[in-house]
Amino acid sequence: MRTHNCSTRKLIPDSRKNETVTLIVVIITLITMIVEIIAGLISGSMALLSDGIHMGTHAMALFITLAAYIFARKQMDNPSFSFGTGKVGVLGGYTNAILLLIAAGAMAFESVERLINPVHIMFNQAIVVAVIGLVVNIVSAVILGHGGSNHSLDHDHLRSHDDQADPTCHQHSHEDHNLKAAYLHVITDALTSVLAIFALLAAKFFGLAWADPLVGILGAIVVSRWAIGLLKQTSSVLLDKSNTSDTVTRLRELIESDTTSIEDLHIWQISENEQSLILSLTSSEDKDPSFYHDLVKKAGSFDHITVEIHKQRPDA
């Protein structure tokens, strides 16, 4: 029996840059929170005070994103994480998706309550708060969208393996669900602010008091769709789920023959865009594992490949 294990010299996402821009957004959000709470207490404005508290929950969600980056960076070389810390960011994105879903539920509940039992709105203060929130979230979205790249590569963060010089190993870019979750948070808030401004203007100038809660319900639906989409993406990675039927078919076409058969094959997700593969085959041909490794590369992109060959006698 012969085996060949290839783990690519892998370039991980530009997590330090994404960590930095997330920290900047957290600071901006915290400053806005403090200013709004202080202004609300001084002026007695419940609109400012409540939005300040909302900014606090927003900062907490962004802090989860930041904590995931810091943990992944500090534990990057920890041998206890056999396949690296790629799933830490996915876990951060999954957690934030749950928070987004909870926020959408609370938004829908409050909106329905206001449709049934309308409340008096201080339009001028509420519009000012909505505009402040919109500006802060636009700035945050620009920082997250341009400061950190979902597909960038950081050459300062290399994860080396014993076979890093293996010419059969490959490199590719990655997607960052952790940054995507943070981006969705600020985009969600920006959308909420835009909808709130339109609804408040409609209620103030045209007497459409129902517009504000109705827009809240519509916003909750949109946020829920985003959150559920992110939950599906991140949970699939966390549960090692991947759609590999086409890849498996392609592998069998490339490898199996009258003299060679695949006995065991496992493909699983180890981070956002990284997959591992273990291939066990029986063959009567005298071919090196690296030969089959090259065939595997034609079927898909894998970061960790193990090929195991059980030699079969030609007359068996």
Select from 185, 205, 238 the last residue of a domain: 238
Q: Select from 195, 217, 238 the last residue of a domain.
A: 238
Residues 6 or more apart from 4 whose CB is under 8 A from it?
288, 289, 290, 292, 293, 305, 306, 307
Task: Show the tokens assigned to 289.
Answer: 């594992």
**Predicted pLDDT of residue 228:** 93
Q: Strand 304-311 and strand 275-283: pairing? A: parallel
Instruction: Give pLDDT, residue 11.
Output: 39
Q: CA 274, CA 3: separation in Å to the nearest integer?
A: 21
Identify whether residues 17 and 153 lie together within a single domain: yes
Residue 163 lies in a domain: yes
What pTM, to 2 d.p., does this model score? 0.71
Residue 189 domain-assigned (yes or no): yes
First to last CA, the chain: 16
Give a yes or no: residue 193 inside a domain.
yes
User: Within a domain: residue 208?
Assistant: yes
Going by C-alpha positions, the residue among 295, 287, 290 that lies closest to residue 250 is 295
Can you give the pLDDT at residue 95?
A: 92
Residue 211's pLDDT is: 80
Answer yes or no: is 6 within a domain.
no
pLDDT of amino acid 14: 63
| Alpha-carbon radius of gyration of the chain | 26
Same domain? For 27 and 66 the reply is: yes
CATH number of the domain at 52, please: 1.20.1510.10
Cβ(105)–Cβ(210) below 8 Å: no
- Is 4 inside any structural domain? no
**Inside any domain, residue 316:** no
Whether residues 208 and 166 fall in one domain: yes
Domain boundary residue among 238, 273, 298?
238
In a shared domain, residues 48 and 180: yes
Question: 175 lies in which domain range?
Answer: 11-238
The H or E element containing residue 260 is strand 260-269
Residue-level pLDDT at 83: 78
State the pLDDT at residue 162: 37
Nearest to 15 by CA among 54, 68, 55: 68
For position 9, what pLDDT does the model report?
A: 39
Are residues 105 and 205 part of one domain? Answer: yes
The answer on 234 and 215 residing in a single domain is yes
- The CATH number of residue 256's host domain is 3.30.70
Number of structural domains (the chain) is 2
Question: Mean pLDDT for each 10-residue chunk of the chain (316 residues)?
Answer: 49 70 91 81 62 76 89 86 84 90 85 82 80 89 70 33 39 66 84 80 83 81 87 87 82 89 87 82 86 86 85 65
